[in-house]
Amino acid sequence: MEHSEIAFAKLNLALHVRKRRDDGYHDIETLFAFVQDGDVLTACPANELKLAIHGPFGTGLEADNNNLVLKTAFLLKSHFGVTQGAAIRLNKKLPIASGIGGGSADAAATARLLNRLWGLEASEHELVDILAPLGADIPACIFSRPSFGSGTGTALTFLEDSNISARHVLLVNPLQSVSTAAIFKAWRGMDGGGVHRGDIWDAAVKGRNDLEPIAAAICPAIADILRHLSRANPVFVRMSGSGATCFALFNDAESLQTARATLDPEWWSMASALR
Catalytic choice (50, 137, 202, 210): 137
Helix (H, G, I), strand (E, B) or coil at 59: helix
Q: How far apart are the first and last CA of the chain?
A: 27
Cα torsion for 267, 271, 273, 275, to the nearest 10°? -60
19 is catalytic: no
Peptide bond into 204 cis (omega under 30): no
Catalytic choice (10, 71, 77, 92): 10
The H or E element containing residue 85 is strand 85-91
Where does 118-219 have alpha helices with state H? 124-131, 138-143, 180-186, 200-206, 212-218
Using an 8 Å Cβ cutoff, are 11 and 32 in contact?
yes
Residue 39 identity (one-letter amino acid): D
Task: Give the contacts of 81 (CB within 8 A, at least 6 positions apart).
Answer: none
206 is catalytic: no
Residue 115 identity (one-letter amino acid): N
How many degrees, rounded to 5, is the angle at CA 65 between CA 59 and CA 69? 70
* Tally of residues, the chain: 275
Report, as residue numbers or ranges, the catalytic residues.
10, 137
